[in-house]
Structure 1
Amino acid sequence: MLFSFGIEHEVAFLNREGKFADFACTKFSEFNQIVEKLPTYPNDHLQLRVGDAGIRKKRWYIEGFERFADTDEVIDCLSKGIEIRTTIHSNIQDAITELSESFNLLCGVAAEFGFSPVLTSFHPYKTAFTPHPPLNEYELKQLQVYPDEQTANIYMVTYGPDLNLSVADLPIERVIDIGQKLTYYSPYIVPFSYSSPFYNGTLWDGLSVRTFIRTGKRPATLIFVQEKEQLINSVPSLTKMARLSAEIGRIEFKAFDSCDDFSIYAALLALLKGLAIDESLPGRATIPDAGLHQVSAKAGFDDEGIFANATMILQAAELALKDDADVNLLAPLKVMLTERKTTSHRLIELFKGLGSIEAALKKTYQT
């Protein structure tokens, strides 16, 4: 099987006052001055969607909620941070290398404007997003057309990666089957990434408030298809029309928390690749099991059912990869299982030791 890989990684920031930079205190123009100074690569548009508003011209773009006049004219974008996306690579390591290079470029430019990156997967202070002024008639109509946009109140306070993989020449039925498999096993594989233990200004009672609130209302996996007939009707969506040829057959896993150690993304991509190859695991689901994700979000690997299934899945992926060099990338996940510890545990310890969320967040991205 010939695989391709890509990563989309959302970055949150503290501003020069040391405050969490979000849509309430940071204008679009403040983030845009950073993006403006970053390079443009001439052929990226063949792989990376530019979109209607023209906000996504580069490998970096501002993630946010676009506001419209009473027409399709974009008049503002309420911003939550900057997303980095890689081009498509034939191996995992090259995707990680590009992500690291793009991240370092972003940090250098952001620092010039007083912004420093911090790891969080859920807004540490705001529990939901409410657009001001209220949505106009045109915007409300748009929301009816795109049901996934109706969860803007969630995605504007969450930060997470999309880990993308595709397999050359795989029939779309097989691709959708892999998407259903990843959706089914999602509650057991997401704890490897947990990094959102803060909620409403303090410690949350669990490890991933992002997973607790998001998964079930938003998809765990998204499959990009070429034909309308291939779409499966579900809420949240499992399938979506490809918007450019490079997207056809893409499997986008959307349920992980963000990681500040990119070798964890390498491990998670290797895990997804192993699960795509594996033929032993029987579970399939079109929509994520919200209740099981909530159990997982609260307890992670301390829940015996989550732990046992995560162990089984990791072994299945390892067996499927057997002679593939990518099997070695799984090493950090084995350590997490042995210790039953995630990045959230580290953030909780930092918070308890330092006494503030900002002080704990400042210790992220230290590698």
Structure 2
Amino acid sequence: MIFSFGIEHEVAFLDQEGKFADFTSTKFADFNQIVEKLPIYPNDHLQLHVGDAGIRKKRWYIEGFERFADSDEVIDCLSKGIEIRTTIHSDIQSAIQELSDSFNLLCNVAAEFGFSPVLTSFHPYRTNFVPHPPLNEYELQQLQAYPDELTANIYMVSYGPDLNLSVADLPIERVIDIGKKLTYYSPYIVPFSYSSPFYDGQLWNGLSVRTFIRTGKRPATLVFVQDKEQLVNIVPSLTKVARLPAEIGRIEFKAFDSCDDFSIYAGLLALLKGLVIDETLPGRAITPDANLHQWSAKFGFDAEDILTNATTILQAAEAALKDDPDVNLLAPLKEMLATRRTTSHILIELFKRVGSIEAALNFTYNRGQVSPVL
């Protein structure tokens, strides 16, 4: 099998005053001045979707909720942070290297404007997103046409990666079957990424409030198909029509929390690769099991059924990879299973020690005297 890999990683920020930067405190222009100073690569548009509004011209773009006049004219974008996209790579390490390089560039430019990146997968203070002013008739019609967009109240307060992989020349029926497989096993593999223990200004009673609120209403996996006839008609979506030829056959895993240690992303991509190759695991689902995701979000690997199944899945992926060097990338995931510790555990301990959410978040992305990364 010939694989390709890509990563989309959302970055949240603290502003000059050390406050969490969001759609109520930070304008589009504040983030746009950062993106404007970042480079543009001439051939990226062949691999990366640009979109109608022109916001996504670069490897970095402002993630947010676009506001329209009573037509298709974009008049504003309520912003929650900046997303980094890698181009398509034939190996995992190259994708991770590009992500690291793009992240470092972003950090350097953002610092010039007083913004510093922090790791979170759910807004630590705001529990919901309500557009102001209220949506107009055109915007309401647009949302009704795309059911997944009706959950903007969730995605505007959540942060997470899309881990993308594809296999050359695989029949689309097989790709959709892999999407169903990853959707089924999602509750057992998402704890490797947990990093959202804060909610409504305090510690949440669990490890991933993002998973608890999001998964079930939003997809766990999305498969990009060539034609409308290949779509699986289900909400949340399992399939989506590709916008570029480069997207056809892409499997996009969307349920992980964000990671500030990119070696965990490498491990997760290797895990997904192993699950694509594996032929022993029988589970399939067209929509994520919301209850099981909520159980997983609360307890992670401390729940014996989550731990047992995660162990089985990791072993199956390892066996499928066999002599592939990518099998070595699974090491951080094995460590988490052995210790039952995730990044959320570290954030919780930091919060209890330093006494504020912002102070705890300031230790993420390897800043501060104590590293929170695994």
Could you say which TM-score interval applies, normalised by the shorter chain? over 0.9
Aligned to 1:20: 20
Helix, strand or coil at the partner of 1:71: coil
Q: How far does the alpha carbon of each residue in 1:31-78 deviate from its partner, in whole angstroms, 9 at most, with x for none?
A: 000000000000000000000000000000000000000111000000
Given residue 182 of structure 1, which amino acid in structure 2 is its aligned partner? Answer: L
Helix, strand or coil at the partner of 1:163: strand
Given residue 319 of structure 1, which amino acid in structure 2 is its aligned partner? Answer: A
Q: CA RMSD in A?
A: 0.4
Per-residue deviation at 1:309? 0.1
Partners of 2:241 and 2:171 in 1: CA distance: 16
Aligned to 2:75: 75
Partners of 1:323 and 1:170 in 2: CA distance: 22
Partners of 2:238 and 2:27 in 1: CA distance: 33
Partners of 1:6 and 1:249 in 2: CA distance: 13
Aligned to 1:3: 3
Partners of 2:215 and 2:15 in 1: CA distance: 29
> Any residues of structure 2 matched to 1:192-231 within 5 Å, and which?
192-231=192-231
Aligned to 1:238: 238
Partners of 2:124 and 2:45 in 1: CA distance: 34
Aligned to 2:353: 353
Per-residue deviation at 1:98? 0.1
Partners of 2:170 and 2:237 in 1: CA distance: 21
> Any residues of structure 2 matched to 1:166-177 within 5 Å, and which?
166-177=166-177
Helix, strand or coil at the partner of 1:338: helix
Q: How far does the alpha carbon of each residue in 1:84-140 deviate from its partner, in whole angstroms, 9 at most, with x for none?
A: 000000000000000000000000000000000000000000000000000000000
Q: How far does the alpha carbon of each residue in 1:130-154 deviate from its partner, in whole angstroms, 9 at most, with x for none?
A: 0000000000000111111100000
Given residue 230 of structure 1, which amino acid in structure 2 is its aligned partner? Answer: Q
Partners of 2:199 and 2:165 in 1: CA distance: 31
Structure 1: runs of 5+ lacking an equivalent: none
Partners of 2:130 and 2:36 in 1: CA distance: 28
1:108 aligns with 2:100: no
Q: How far does the alpha carbon of each residue in 1:213-272 deviate from its partner, in whole angstroms, 9 at most, with x for none?
A: 000000000000001111000010000000000000000000000000000000000000
Partners of 2:303 and 2:366 in 1: CA distance: 30
Q: Percent identity?
A: 84
Q: How far does the alpha carbon of each residue in 1:289-322 deviate from its partner, in whole angstroms, 9 at most, with x for none?
A: 0000000000000000000000000000000000
> Any residues of structure 2 matched to 1:259-278 within 5 Å, and which?
259-278=259-278
Partners of 2:19 and 2:227 in 1: CA distance: 46
Per-residue deviation at 1:340? 0.2
Aligned to 2:86: 86
Aligned to 1:150: 150
Partners of 1:153 and 1:49 in 2: CA distance: 23
Given residue 209 of structure 2, which amino acid in structure 1 is its aligned partner? Answer: V
Given residue 200 of structure 1, which amino acid in structure 2 is its aligned partner? Answer: D
Helix, strand or coil at the partner of 2:276: helix
Helix, strand or coil at the partner of 2:157: coil
Partners of 1:71 and 1:247 in 2: CA distance: 28
Partners of 2:175 and 2:141 in 1: CA distance: 32
Structure 2: runs of 5+ lacking an equivalent: 368-374
Per-residue deviation at 1:22? 0.2
Structure 2 length as normaliser, TM-score?
Answer: 0.98
Given residue 183 of structure 1, which amino acid in structure 2 is its aligned partner? Answer: T
Aligned to 1:343: 343
Given residue 137 of structure 2, which amino acid in structure 1 is its aligned partner? Answer: E
